Structure 1
């Protein structure tokens, strides 16, 4: 009975959140980052494999509309990139050759061309950087988005801007490149998403399951420094459920992530890509500082 009352209280906290926007060291749902770090990769050695780099990323990068169940970010794509985010998680709905951006049923008022143009603009301004982009089909079930993706690349970006290999590039080879992590069928367009070492236990039915989610994140972060340095590690800290909105999970998990990383400060660790909902500029900077 006591546990049931606690769960109902936690559910009420999520369904009826109090207060306005938050901009703290671990969680930020305000419109703009506290500070920017747009060219942090310029200080990395060209000879390092990209898989050896520790970098921040965002889950469902473009999910800024649709209410509490659908929204995962509050910053625009340009603001995320300039804040230091280097991994993008992009979900496209395929309808008659068109690729609109969705999070489930929630249309994000953008199409894939807007995402590509945003990356092109950023890399033109900061050619020392690279951008990783997971591309996945969402909502539609055509299982055939390759041709549409290629068409959009030619229209809104440049074929030469892509990294056309399954092999892991060095930092020098990756500079100025968009690396598509191909989470769809078809000929090679970039690196295969499935070839990476991924932890993405996104199902968090209620806030009572947040500790279990953190255990999954913690386990994978502990494996990354001792894992194969030629293989990229991706750790998703994001999670959601009917009684655990992305924002509520992010506030709790991001805080635990910050405490964990604080304990590792000063150590020579590779954590790979750490992918978050509603990250704040200080925790992004903390992740970058492990390089």
Structure 2
């Protein structure tokens, strides 16, 4: 083989390696992996009662309780099992959460991300939310609840012989939930903040393959299926590190669409994404010199770009500065 051909093949192999081999994400900073430095448990207190939830700029987390399973599964900093991680996020200012549940023995929900049990149960979720909102009654928390198990490779399998997912959910409907959002027969209109202070608002109840279950949640999310839809950007497949740039652009475009969109609707913009060759931490924090979504977002929001609201930003491994910047738009 000619020497020049060897160099070409070696260069090609190196390029493929950079795409395919996981690498360390960027170091923690104001945008990434510094949620412990954030402390904003009462930020909604200064927002007028008459403000629609749609008018708010809300930091959220994707895979809110996913702290176990390794780099391909973990999406959040670990602040403890049994709801400890959720409690720390709420104190930091997170106000939309993404909860993934498996049907388990005794008609109960356990918290999963894919096949991995996250050492927490739905009773922990309800307990933490109830305690937090009792201590901070001016706040509200928006929840997306998803039946996580599909029974397919890489997923979990629900325990057979149990009640249906919505029937089990109904057994958890304590007074902490805003009741119009947890009534299966009639979806709720988007409320004002004053209507839901001290309550959990269910945005949508998703089945195992992403379709909404009956009429739970808010009416505007009736078409929220797996991936992106009218008011949702959730292009969650990022095939390799190089494709993080595409994900950044999708987040940016949806931010601009949110700002120009229907002011009566909540827009939910997922900054998360992953694949075998682009781990959640890499998409969030960056890798191999490619800027991650979190530092990009902090820079973009700091620059302004005429934005007056961000909508809901669902993040992996958010940093304290990014949370503070999103909240500042209120």
TM-score, L = length of structure 1: 0.89
For the 8 Å contact 2:176–2:199, the answer to whether it is kept is no
CA distance 1:247–1:160, shift in 2 (3 Å): closer
**Residue 83 (str. 1) matches residue 83 (str. 2):** no
**Residue 24 (str. 1) matches residue 29 (str. 2):** yes
For the 8 Å contact 2:38–2:323, the answer to whether it is kept is no
**What secondary structure is seen at the aligned counterpart in 2 of 1:258?**
helix
**Residue 285 (str. 1) matches residue 324 (str. 2):** yes
In the alignment, what sits opposite 1:136?
146
For the 8 Å contact 2:22–2:277, the answer to whether it is kept is no
Instruction: State the distance in 2 between where 1:37 and 1:100 align.
Output: 28
Q: CA deviation at 1:182?
A: 2.0
Q: CA deviation at 1:85?
A: 0.4
Q: CA deviation at 1:13?
A: 4.4
Q: CA deviation at 1:188?
A: 3.6
**Residue 35 (str. 1) matches residue 57 (str. 2):** no
In the alignment, what sits opposite 1:190?
217
Instruction: State the distance in 1 between where 2:327 and 2:12 align.
Output: 39
Instruction: State the distance in 1 between where 2:12 and 2:264 align.
Output: 45
Q: CA deviation at 1:181?
A: 1.7
In the alignment, what sits opposite 2:129?
119
Match of 1:175 among 197, 200, 215: 197
Q: CA deviation at 1:152?
A: 1.9
In the alignment, what sits opposite 2:295?
255
In the alignment, what sits opposite 2:18?
9
CA distance 1:195–1:18, shift in 2 (3 Å): closer
Equivalent residues, number: 281
Match of 2:50 among 47, 50, 74: 47
In the alignment, what sits opposite 1:61?
64
- Structure 1 window deviating more from structure 2 (76-85 vs 206-215): it is 206-215
In the alignment, what sits opposite 2:270?
236
Structure 2: state its 5+ residue gaps: 1-8, 80-84, 152-157, 182-186, 207-211, 225-230, 286-291
In the alignment, what sits opposite 2:3?
none
For the 8 Å contact 1:162–1:177, the answer to whether it is kept is no
For the 8 Å contact 1:162–1:180, the answer to whether it is kept is no
CA deviations over 1:101-155 (Å, ceiling 9, x no partner): 11000110111111111111110000000000000111246794111011122xx
Greater radius of gyration (CA): 2
Equivalent residues in 2 for 1:147-226 (5 A)?
Answer: 147-153=167-173, 157-158=174-175, 161-164=178-181, 165-184=187-206, 186-192=213-219, 193-195=221-223, 197-226=231-260
**What secondary structure is seen at the aligned counterpart in 2 of 1:129?**
coil
For the 8 Å contact 1:144–1:186, the answer to whether it is kept is no
TM-score, L = length of structure 2: 0.79
CA deviations over 1:201-256 (Å, ceiling 9, x no partner): 00011101111111211110110011001111000000000011100110011111
Structure 1: state its 5+ residue gaps: none
Match of 1:273 among 278, 291, 312: 312
**What secondary structure is seen at the aligned counterpart in 1 of 2:299?**
helix
